[in-house]
Amino acid sequence: MSFRYLGNKTKLSEWIIEEISRVIPAGSSIADPMCGTASVSLALAQAGYSVTAADALAFPVIHARSRLLAKQAPAFKAFGGYDKVLNWLNSIPPIEGYFFREFSDAGCPANGREPRLYFSASNATRIDGMRSSIRDLAISGTISKLEHSLLLHTLILATNKVANISGTYGYFLKELSKNALHPIKLESLPFEQTPGCHSVQEGPIEKLAPTLCVDAVYLDPPYTKRQYAGNYHILETLAQEDEPIAVGDGGLRPWKEQASDFCYKRAAGKAFRRVLKHLNVPHVFISYSQDGQVQEDELLAILTDFGKVTVHEQSYNRYRSNGRAKQGHLMERLYHIKCN
């Protein structure tokens, strides 16, 4: 799978689950309400926990719903199976639509700027054709909600593989890369037959926190100034299935209403307090990097107001926007609060 996301915890998930399992046993319920790619949610599910995943953005919810709720390939009765519907979508005629106009090397953006080189023209037209067909299947009732999410999940991952970006969608490369020239193809994804009872919600953590009735909550807030809503605007558009006004040179969708206070140095500490105040659970686990907007001493001072805090540390390679590691390492900290 192609998860090219900031803060993706795939490589740290085994360590995170190991530390959580020392506190609450498999079979317990745990929420991951800032789930991102749902990598930790899936790892928790594989370890035997019942998981409630959520996120403020639509595309992580699509990922979580597909990875947690689709424990086996859905029937796709109208097509005779998952692989067959993918074959059908891969054969859909291209359309010179929204993605072609706004995000391809041959496009003509509505705001009059030069073409945005997020995709080759051929891939953009195929994305337009496939997303239109998926939307039509959902509107007609031909596919279920879960099948709809799975097709969008598959499309998002395929789109990531051919995107002409260095790592995020904040901007595009000046010339089409080798990966961007490969033809987009929807590929069958694996399914996990996990034992727990899982659920997926959509909404900001500030609103969801009071509603979480679980044994523990795992929080993975943004720790840099880069807003996910802005840096992954194209994936959000795929998930939302809309055609927003593409703003500026980068073609961003309106995103400021989805901005996270955790990305602002002056607001991040207050955001931690606000969320923790509204959680009513026995245990809270928080992943946070040493490079975070809130320094370790300040964060510890905040967390200790809510219970007894234990800190675990794990070194990992620095992230660079192209997905490779910078020279040197960072320290990831997993804070455990045994709540008052």
pLDDT tens digit sequence for 31-84: 999 999 999 999 999 999 999 999 999 999 999 999 999 999 999 999 999 999
Give me the CATH number covering residue 8. 3.40.50.150
Task: For residue 13, give the nearest of 59, 46, 56 by alpha carbon.
Answer: 46
For residues 203 and 309, state if they share a domain.
Answer: yes
Find the mean pLDDT for residues 88-92. Answer: 98
**What integer pLDDT is reported at residue 324 of this predicted model?**
47
Q: What is the sign of the dihedral through the CA atoms of 164, 165, 171 and 176? A: negative
Which domain covers residue 108, as residue numbers?
73-190+227-254
- Give the residues across from 30 on adjacent strands: 51, 216
- Give the residues across from 316 on adjacent strands: 330
For residues 175 and 205, state if they share a domain.
Answer: no
CB atoms within 10 A of CB 245: 11
For residues 64 and 206, state if they share a domain.
Answer: yes
For residues 201 and 293, state if they share a domain.
Answer: yes
User: 274-300 burial, b for 16+ CB within 10 Å, e for fewer?
Assistant: ebbeebebebbbbbbbeebbbeeeebe
- Number of domains observed in the structure of the chain: 2
For residues 212 and 323, state if they share a domain.
Answer: yes
Q: What is the sign of the dihedral through the CA atoms of 175, 169, 163 and 288? A: positive
Find the mean pLDDT for residues 266-272. Answer: 97
Tokens of 320: 């660079």
Distance CA 116, CA 138 (A): 29
Find the mean pLDDT for residues 182-203. Answer: 96
pLDDT band at 185 (very low <50, low <70, confident <90, very high): very high
Find the mean pLDDT for residues 193-218. Answer: 97
For residues 28 and 166, state if they share a domain.
Answer: no
CA dist 77 to 73, 82, 86, 155, 336, Å? 11, 9, 13, 20, 45
Find the mean pLDDT for residues 119-139. Answer: 98
